[in-house]
Structure formats: C-alpha cells, structure tokens
Chain A
Amino acid sequence: MLAFAVTAALILALAGLGRPLAWRLGTCRNGQHLTEAELWALAPLLGALPLAVLVQVVGAWRYDPLSMAVTLAVALLPALAFLRLRPFVPVLPWWPWGWMLAVLVGLMAVSALAPPLDHDSIRYHLTLPRRDLELGRIGLWFGWSIYEFFPPLTALLTRLAYALGGAAAAQMLNVFWVVMAALWAGLLARRLGLGPQGAMAAALLFVSQRVVLNLGAAVTTDIPLAAFIGAFAAVAVAGTEGARRALLLGLLLGAAMATKYQGIVAAVAMMTPLAVLALLRRRGLPALILAGSVALLVLSPILLRNFWITGNPVFPTAHPLFGADNLDIFAPFTQAMAARSVVPGGLAALPWTMFILQDAFDGLQFGFPILLLGLPFAFFRHQGGRALCLVGIVIYTLVWWGAMPHLLRFLQPIFVPLAALAAAGLVEVAVVGRRIGWFRPVFAASVGVAIGIQALFAGSSALYRLPVALGLADIRSALEVPAFQYYGLITPCLWLQDNLRPGERYVAVINDPSVYCPQAPTLHPLGAGEAARFYSRGGLPALSAAQVAEMLRGGNVRYVLVANNPGTDDETYAFAKHRFDAVLLPILRQQKPLVDSASGKIYDALAVLAALESGIGAAEPASGR
C-alpha cells in the first residue's frame, strides 16, 4: 500500500508542478490549441523536469527517507491548486479495448509489488539508488559504474520513489510511465484522425507489446522516454508554429534526451521531417531552431557534468572520441551481440524480419506482430501527421540499425508513434469491414489471433511476478531458477544483509552487483585516480597477491561473495570488477564456503586471507633465492 501511496503523491506532485507550464505553453492564439486532455497529459511530463532538479539538489546534500519526504511535500504544494479546479473526467469508450487495457495495467500494478525480478533493475536501476541511500547522498562515483553517468531525469524520480517506498514504489512509478506512454499513444491517434475507440486501441497496442508487458512492472528508462517522444509527436502534429509551441516541443525533447541517450537519436529522428517540411514551406524554421536550442539547454547540465568528471560529455558512449587512449566501453557487448544476432536479408528485409524473426535479434520483444499487420493500411488515407510519424520512425530505425546493438527493445522510444500508426491502419481496415460482409469475420479472426497470442504473453509475465507479489512464493524460489543463476545472487546477498556488521566489508567476485546485496560495504577495487585508466586501452595493472591481501586487511573485509560464473560476462566495463578474480579464484577453489546456494557462494574472508598470506609467505623465500 505504501508503494501506491508514494506513487499517487508523486503523480500529484508531477502534475501540480507541470500544470502551469502545460497551460501556459499549450494554449496559443493561432488556432493550434491543444485539447484539455492533452494539457492534462502534458502536466506530469513537464513536472518531471523541476521535480528531478529538486531531488538532485536536495539529494546531493542529503539522500534519505526524511529528506525525500520533505522534498516531496514541498513539490506537492502546487498541487493544492487542484482543490480549486473543476475535475477533468473524460468520457471514455471502455468496451472492448479500454477494459483490456485496464486489466493489463492492473496486472502490471500488482506485479510491481513483487521484489525486483528483471535483469537491469537488479543490476543497476535499483542498485544505484540503494548504494546512494546507504551512502546518504546522491553521488557520482567515477569508476563504480558507467550507468550513473547516463542521463538521470527519470532515474532521479526513481530515487525519490525508492527512498520513500522501496523497490515496489520505484516499480509502481514505472507503471505510471506505461500509463503516460499509452495515454500519448491514444492522444497521438486522435491527432492522426482516429476516434475515441481508435485511440483506446492505440493505447492498448502500446501496452500489449511483449517488452512493455515484461518491463512495465520493473524499473526502466525506455518507457518514460517513449512517453516523452510520443507527447512530442502528438504536439508536433498539432502544429509547430509560435514561440510557446517551440518552447513546449523543446522541453519535451530535452526531457527525452535527459532520460536516456537514445532520446538524442529519437529527438533527431522526430525533428528531421519537421525541419525538412519547414525548409520546403519556408515557414516555421526559427521555431524549430528555438525548440532544438531549448532541448539542448535542458540536456547541457548533464553534458557539462559528465565532461567535468570523465572528460567525455556523453560518457560512457563514444568514449574513444574524447581521448586517444580511451576505450570503446561497449565493444565487448556490441561484439558479443553482433556474433549472436545474424539477421537474414540485412537492412532491406528489416521491416519484415524485425517483426517476424524476432529471435534473430534479442527475442520476442513485440510478440505477435500486430503493429506490422496494421501499419501499411495507415496510409490508405492521406493524412500529413501519419507521414511525419512514419519518417521519424524510419530515421530512428536506420540509426538503430547502423549505430546501436541490434536489440529490438532499443526501439521502444518509437513505440508510441508505431502503435498510433498501426491503430490507424487497423481502424481504416475495420471501417471497410463494416461495408463488406464477408470481410468482417476475416478481420475479427485476425485481431482475435493477435489478442490470443498477446494474452499468453501477458499471462506469462504476470505468472512470473504475481505469485511473489501476492506472497504465494518466496523471492528465493523465484530467483534461484536457471534464468537468474548468474546474476540474482539472492541467497548470498540476503545472508550478507543479515550477517555483515557495521564497519565490516565484503569483496565481490561477481559479474554485476545485485540490488539484494548491501552496496556501500563492498571493497571498491579501484584506487584513487585509477578510474580514468580503467576505461583506457592500457587498462589497470594486475594486482599481486600481496596487494590483494593488503587491500582485504586494510578494508576490514570479512566475507567474499562469489557468483556462479565470474568473468564470463559481455559487459566488462559496466562496473569496476574482476580486479581480484585472478588472485582469489584459485584460493577460493580450495576453501569451503560458508554459504553454498544455487545463486552464489559466500566465503570467510579471514580464512581466504590466511591462505593468501601463507601462499605469499611460501613464495617469498623462493623468489629471494
């Protein structure tokens, strides 16, 4: 219940902070007014910017439940204005798509109450907030992880939710982002000429993509990014002229870029057709330049921060461009991905293979390709907004193909316009169905197959989390399965949480941290000034047994945490890791673990240290001769 209360308060704060801005920028004299529904949907998106700044400023000084409660209380003050407003209650056609949508979002909301059960939430989305909470401030630790240098807009809101309501609140906030993205899919569909039913179908198409079903109840940055890009598309289709509209578009793009680096690509993709159109019409270009400048202004504090600390404004991406000795940090991952994904037909066949042969990429991220089913039919009717959206989608996909790892889940930023266009196509076809008798059952059967298959995916995602959320299954049993055997670390982490005493540390011989482990008491493997060298081609010198022994003793290390497969990961530089592996692993093989589980082991560091020092002692006379 705390998670629901925290999320509700956060939504109110976001809407309260963003409402004045939405009304000021969304209304204009030139007939390009946004609808009341659009203004209300803009409010929380625009409110994210001031709230994130507030969390960053307070959190840099003090990050704990009390400081974040005070921050949220202050942020809620503008929401008091809602008491004076007439409530905005849109009349929605709930049957049939709205009910399906409600069921999916409801399942997601309950699933969000489960402890973290997905790869990236366990590895870093929640690990970093936990570390900051243990350290007492929101910090940037060059050399700890690359992820804290990613754009932090929604990650800061995650920290606010996490401090007040734990992982469940952070995950519930992500469900809110799903709702926002779905809402904007519907609103964009309205702008593309669809009625209320078509808008509901577009929202459902967004929520029912398999990657959204899987990650809706986790913590992500892709889904809020999709919401910002969807809002940008809808507002741009409504009209781009005037200074207020330019400011609004700029803030939305800036927020997208400040949420995830891929937002920069999405921003360029969505702006390009608008710029070309403005050039051809010789009208509206100054407004677009203003929008781009505002977006860059929003992003610039993040670029400056990263440049100041790491020497690379977009750290960790494009690192070799900012230093001759700088390492391509993602090379091990992209090379591993390239070896794994062989896509038949290459770029020419991509519009087909990305939906049909999803296993050639990173698995069934769309599920049934209903987006592909509807997309071509969106263009049977001429509607300028549809062409704009399509061009944006195509540009983003081309950049994704040419410059990013071929993971279908990285296409999420364009899911909102994709869903709106696919809904537009399906509506065009459905209208035909009303006029041609034999076609009605054919259309119903096609949509029925899609609903049936996506329902299986939705059920599978729910079955995965609901038993844990409802207390019917233990988190250990959920995480000690083959899918998590290499990174959940649930049993050793919970053991450390119970047994590590204040002042004691543990050393981690793992591939990635787990949110279930205490974070601050790990022995950091990099010395002062070693971070820049860790991300360089030269790398760090190997530690000798004597140096490792000295670090263990000096750091008051009491335990050694060991994963089932240390050193076999693709993301070698994501965290500072593997520094102790070469010295400790041969010794650990001769030790008896204190904890031996399916998810990892714990060893007594004092015994390991004794073995290490006896080995050093035995080696010294030999080397002295």
Chain B
Amino acid sequence: MHKDRLVAVAFTLWAVLVTGAFLQANGAYLFGKLLERLGR
C-alpha cells in the first residue's frame, strides 16, 4: 500500500509538471491554431 501511495503521488506530480510545461510551451500556439480552424 505504501508503494501504491508513492506511485500515485509521484504520477500526480509528474502529470501536473508535464501537462503544465507542455501547455505553457505550446498552449498559445495550439489555441491560435484552434481559433484558425474554427474561423475557417
């Protein structure tokens, strides 16, 4: 159970870090592309 909790906490932190970093680096581009597609 202790190992399970460790994995759960580690994944949660990792997911926040990866998702946050990806969106910070590419969010503006993705949003712009989405608006471009919707605006067509």
User: Which chain A residues have a beta carbon within 8 Å of chain B's beta carbons?
Assistant: 352, 355-359, 364, 368-369, 372-373, 376-377, 380, 428-429, 432-433, 435-436, 438-439, 442-443, 446, 449, 453, 456, 460, 463
B:1-40 near A, CB below 8 Å: 1, 3-5, 7-8, 10-12, 14-15, 18-19, 21-22, 25-26, 29-30, 33-34, 37
A355 CA to B23 CA, complexed, in Å: 12
Q: A439-B11, A439-B12, A443-B11 are in contact. List 10 more A-B contacts (CB 8 A).
A: A356-B18, A356-B25, A364-B26, A364-B29, A373-B19, A432-B4, A432-B8, A435-B1, A442-B15, A460-B37
Q: Is the CB of B7 within 8 A of A358?
A: no
Known: A373-B15, A446-B15, A446-B19. A439 touches B8 (CB 8 A): yes
Q: Is the CB of A357 within 8 A of B18?
A: no
State which of B4, B10, B11, B18 has its C-beta within 8 Å of the C-beta of A369: B18
A380 CA to B14 CA, complexed, in Å: 15
Contacts of B8 in A (CB 8 A): 429, 432-433, 436, 438-439, 442
A364 CA to B28 CA, complexed, in Å: 13
Contacts of A373 in B (CB 8 A): 14-15, 18-19
Chain B min CB distance to A322 (Å):
42
Known: A436-B4, A456-B30. A357 touches B25 (CB 8 A): yes
Contacts of B10 in A (CB 8 A): 377
State which of A368, A436, A460 has its C-beta within 8 Å of the C-beta of B22: A368
State which of B7, B25, B37 has its C-beta within 8 Å of the C-beta of A432: B7
Q: Is the CB of A428 within 8 A of B18?
A: no
User: Which chain B residues have a beta carbon within 8 Å of chain A's beta carbons?
Assistant: 1, 3-5, 7-8, 10-12, 14-15, 18-19, 21-22, 25-26, 29-30, 33-34, 37
Q: Is the CB of A358 within 8 A of B26?
A: yes
Contacts of A456 in B (CB 8 A): 30, 34
Chain A min CB distance to B37 (Å):
6
A373 CA to B4 CA, complexed, in Å: 17
Chain A min CB distance to B8 (Å):
4
A432 CA to B14 CA, complexed, in Å: 15
Contacts of B29 in A (CB 8 A): 359, 364
Chain A min CB distance to B16 (Å):
9
Q: Is the CB of B7 within 8 A of A428?
A: yes
**Sample (29) of A-B pairs whose CB atoms are under 8 Å apart:** A355-B22, A356-B18, A356-B21, A357-B25, A359-B26, A364-B26, A364-B29, A369-B18, A373-B14, A373-B15, A373-B19, A380-B3, A380-B7, A429-B8, A429-B11, A432-B4, A432-B8, A432-B11, A433-B8, A436-B4, A436-B5, A436-B8, A439-B8, A439-B12, A442-B8, A443-B11, A446-B19, A456-B30, A460-B37
A379 CA to B1 CA, complexed, in Å: 18
Chain B min CB distance to A439 (Å):
4
Q: Is the CB of B4 within 8 A of A435?
A: yes
A428 CA to B7 CA, complexed, in Å: 9
Chain A min CB distance to B5 (Å):
7
Nearest B-chain residue to A446, judged by Cβ: B15
Q: Is the CB of B7 within 8 A of A463?
A: no
Nearest A-chain residue to B36, judged by Cβ: A460
Known: A377-B7, A433-B8. A372 touches B30 (CB 8 A): no
| Most chain A beta-carbon neighbours within 10 Å: one of B11, B19, B30, B33 | B11
Q: Is the CB of B22 within 8 A of A356?
A: yes
Nearest B-chain residue to A460, judged by Cβ: B37
Q: Is the CB of B18 within 8 A of A429?
A: no
Contacts of B12 in A (CB 8 A): 439, 442
Q: Is the CB of B4 within 8 A of A377?
A: no
Q: Is the CB of B26 within 8 A of A449?
A: no
Chain A min CB distance to B14 (Å):
7
A546 CA to B1 CA, complexed, in Å: 85
Q: Is the CB of A453 within 8 A of B1?
A: no
Contacts of B33 in A (CB 8 A): 460
A358 CA to B10 CA, complexed, in Å: 24
Chain A min CB distance to B35 (Å):
12
Nearest A-chain residue to B7, judged by Cβ: A432
Chain B min CB distance to A424 (Å):
13
Q: Is the CB of B4 within 8 A of A449?
A: no
A463 CA to B12 CA, complexed, in Å: 34
A436 CA to B4 CA, complexed, in Å: 8
A439 CA to B4 CA, complexed, in Å: 10
